[in-house]
Amino acid sequence: MVETDHQQIQVELPTQPEFVRLVRLIVAGIGNSMRFNVDELEDLKLAVGEACYQVLQSTSGERARLRIVARLKVDGLEIELFTTHESDDEEGLYAFPGLELTDRRLGLTLMKQIVDEISFTSNSRSTSLKIFKRRRAAASRTRSAAGATGASRARPSDPAPPGCG
């Protein structure tokens, strides 16, 4: 379980679509270690897969690499996907090029529905997409555990177990 906001995991991969599945598995493993429930893990995998495809659509050049940074937070998981690309376009900061394309809009809409925060930047040299997924079950799990602990305590009026009195 994460106790501080200082834990971070980084992975760097080639910018090829075949590696998206690996990224999803890595994120699922991290989420599982953070005790996300099954539904939250599925949401994370779906969002990260979509995020990868969004970032990869903006990537060009043989030397391009996809860097994934997972920041383990007390209340959730932040995933940043970052890639550099080769381009002669010097226009500066802009939202993802071609955002008007239907598949791109659908991917972003889907991500907005299943993660708590999303932000992205792109310019002529790099693209970054950051998502944050809050652990919803953590609060209810804590309350359930506290209730179970309280219910299992012996009351003063309960007789002592045999051999203890």
pLDDT digits over 38-47, tens only? 999 999 999 9
Cα Rg of the chain (Å, integer): 22
Q: How many domains does the chain have?
A: 1
Domain containing 75 equals 7-140
pLDDT digits over 113-131, tens only? 889 999 988 777 788 899 9
Domain with residue 85: its CATH number is 3.30.565.10
Residues 67 and 58: their CA atoms lie apart, in Å, by 14
- Residue 118 neighbours by CB distance under 10 Å: 17
Per the CB < 8 A criterion, the answer to whether 36 and 140 are in contact is no
